[in-house]
Structure 1
Amino acid sequence: MTQGTPPPPTNKVEALSPSDSNSGFKWWTKTLQYKTGLGMSQDDKNQYETILKLKKDKENCKSCVEHRDWMMKYSPMVIFMLDQINKSNGYVSKNKISCNICDTPKYGGFHPEFGIELCANYINGDKWILNDTLSHELIHWYDNTRFNVDWTDLKHHACSEIRAASLSGECAIMTEFSRQMGMMRFAKGHQTCVKRKAVLSVIGHPKCKDKQHAESVVNEVFRSCFNDTRPFEMIYR
């Protein structure tokens, strides 16, 4: 997942609704024709696929908003980060966390002016992907509030991506191996996961030349940024 700087939120939810003429029996008939390929022109198929996408996008946006609101009330990680941002003289309002349909494949992004964008069409209704994504972006928000990050600086960007990947829980799947492989292998696996995600994010930075450049920058700042677990006392996941 590339955690790049998103464009200004577009709030496309309300625009995503198919025509009422495609409801009921007529819609069922079109669905049957589409599935069987009988009695349907290519133009009709294209129109049907467009309507299906709009319906799915609307469902995903609705689900995204519901899950966002739930996480802001009940997710320990999200609540903790919101509190830490407040303690750093920042404030996260709900209207600064938008659910949108994204053109670029990613789960979300943070912009210091526009806030957090959650990509409903790539999160695809998964409550726990949204939780990890929102946690990731809130760590960026915390860094921006607490440390005055220069997002145009590749090293600054890489450092925040390392911290967000490490602290958000995105690499928590590695804990499943810890019981069998021991903590030393778990630690190594966690770091590998964090590096991979940070590199993928840094590749999307305008000043990054290529993957090799991203890897070089991430490796340069990795040790100090990975070891900086603020606002946590340590890595718990």
Structure 2
Amino acid sequence: MQPSTPPNTRPGGTADFLQGTSLLTRFKNFYRMATGSMSPQGQLAYWHDVDLRYEALDCRRCESQRDYLLQYSPIIRYLSTNIAQLGGTLDSTNIRCRRCEPHERMEGGFDPRYGIKLCANVLEGRKKVEDTLAHEMVHAWDHLKWKVNWEADGGDLRGVACTEIRASSLSGECRWTNEFFGNKILKFTNQHQNCVRRRAVQSVKSRPQCKSDLDAVKAVNEVWDSCFRDTRPFDEIYR
């Protein structure tokens, strides 16, 4: 039996991630990543290594931004007050900055048992943290108000679709400047609605109880009119 061909790790070919902590090894990995000669598996390993090395720094930065927003951001303070009025508490003890894995493809998350997770290695800049935190706080308000069923088995996909619509609409993540400068989408008509619908469908698709892309689109469409119009606890779309 002939021995298997060893993987091509030359910079000119498809290169895998090289294990090691020396400056030379890290430079080689950076060069291969920057020139596009690293395999998809190697790219995942590269970013995983970067996230591990900067985890403590990323989390400290995220926590500093979180604390600032809890004290000074109008939208975060307003949501905090309204969550408290429903008997909930969100503060630095249950809004946690953590490293998220690349395959999770998330910026943050809400769990009614544990609170909010902010992906410290993904969120860059205070505005991004503010949008993500506001998004998850809308989920928290909705859960306290309507007891959304988030469970993977038997979860209410329409209820999840509704809170995703509201969170994307009310958090500020779909404002025109974000779409133009962040996603390079230049539209003046129905820009906000299109962004909210797109992000809501993406979020519903990621839920374990969603069986297909068509199910996600269907769930969003079925609740769109009532949920998009519902701006509570705001009087109108704030940002």
**TM-score of the pair, normalised by structure 1:** 0.74
Q: 1:31 to 1:166 in 2, by over 3 A?
A: same
> d(CA) in 2 for partners of 1:112 and 1:187?
36
Which residues of 2 match residues 169-208 of structure 1 at below 5 A? 169-173=172-176, 186=188, 188-208=190-210
Q: Please report how far the alpha carbon of residue 60 of structure 1 lies from its aligned counterpart in structure 2 after TM superposition.
A: 1.0
**TM-score of the pair, normalised by structure 2:** 0.73
Counterpart of 1:116 in structure 2 is 116
Q: Deviations over 1:44-103 (max 9, x none)?
A: xxxx99765433222111111111111101111101100011112222232111111112
> d(CA) in 1 for partners of 2:48 and 2:209?
36
Unaligned runs of 5+ in 2: 1-20, 30-45, 181-186
Task: State whether structure 2 residue 145 is matched by structure 1 residue 146.
Answer: yes
Counterpart of 1:182 in structure 2 is none
Counterpart residue type for residue 226 of structure 2: S
> d(CA) in 1 for partners of 2:214 and 2:228?
20
- Residues 165 and 197 in structure 1, CA contact (< 8 A), matched pair in contact too: yes
Query: 2:95 pairs with 90, 94, 97, which one?
Result: 97
- Residues 70 and 91 in structure 2, CA contact (< 8 A), matched pair in contact too: no
Runs of 4 or more above 2 Å deviation? 30-37, 48-55, 173-177
Q: Which has the higher contact order (CA 8 A, sep 6+)?
A: 1
Unaligned runs of 5+ in 1: 1-26, 38-47, 178-184
Q: Classify the secondary structure of the residue corresponding to 1:136.
A: helix
- Residues 108 and 117 in structure 1, CA contact (< 8 A), matched pair in contact too: yes
Q: Please report how far the alpha carbon of residue 149 of structure 1 lies from its aligned counterpart in structure 2 after TM superposition.
A: 1.8
Q: Deviations over 1:113-149 (max 9, x none)?
A: 11101111111x4221111000000000011112222
Counterpart of 1:31 in structure 2 is 23
- Aligned-residue Cα RMSD (Å) equals 2.6
Query: 1:155 pairs with 143, 153, 158, which one?
Result: 158
Counterpart of 2:85 in structure 1 is 87
> d(CA) in 2 for partners of 1:119 and 1:215?
26
Aligned residues: 193
- Residues 65 and 99 in structure 1, CA contact (< 8 A), matched pair in contact too: yes
